[in-house]
Structure 1
Amino acid sequence: MNLIQQILRAVLFLVLAFFGLVMAFVFMASTALAIGVLYIIARIKGRPFGVKAYWAERRRPTMPPRPGAWSRSGQPARARDVTDIEMREIP
């Protein structure tokens, strides 16, 4: 009886492992297909395909920012040093 249970557990484990392998393969194949489609679309439109180009396009503002909207000091955030904490002395 114990031998039959061990065999059934081993068969169940192998079946689950096989389905996990199939699901991983489907996920990898669908990801490769999606990246391929994005690459082809980027080449057709004449844009570079890559993470750097994607983030540069996504970060480009759609509207001009208001003066001082992102910075309290009136300077753009990239023109001054960025720190975690701004300390002020209170008299």
Structure 2
Amino acid sequence: MKIIQQALRAALFLILAFFGLIMALVFMASTLLAIGVLYIVARLQGRPFGVKAYWAERRRPPMPSQPGVWAKPAQHKPQDVTDIEMREIP
């Protein structure tokens, strides 16, 4: 009886291991597909594809589409601004 139980446990373990292997292969294939798509899109847009290029692009400050959009006005002075709305609750 113990031999049958051990054989069933081993068979169940092998089946679960096989499904785990299949899931890992599907995950790796989908990751490779996604990286391939990102590589093709980057090449079509003329940008380099890589970790260094990605971080360099992310660290660069955003470029304004119109001149003066990101620039602060020269006459702007920081002031204390207080805006309070109070209501009485009965």
* Same fold, TM-score > 0.5, yes or no: yes
- Give the TM-score, by structure 2 length: 0.68
- Give the TM-score, by structure 1 length: 0.67
**Cα RMSD for the two superposed structures:** 1.7
**Matches of 1:65 and 1:55 in 2, distance apart?**
24
**Matches of 1:27 and 1:11 in 2, distance apart?**
24
Q: 1:65 to 1:34 in 2, by over 3 A?
A: farther
Q: 1:45 to 1:20 in 2, by over 3 A?
A: same
**Matches of 1:14 and 1:30 in 2, distance apart?**
24
Aligned residues: 66
Match of 1:61 in 2: 61
**Matches of 2:8 and 2:17 in 1, distance apart?**
14
Structure 2, unmatched stretches of 5+, are 64-69, 73-90
Structure 1, unmatched stretches of 5+, are 67-91
**Matches of 2:35 and 2:26 in 1, distance apart?**
14
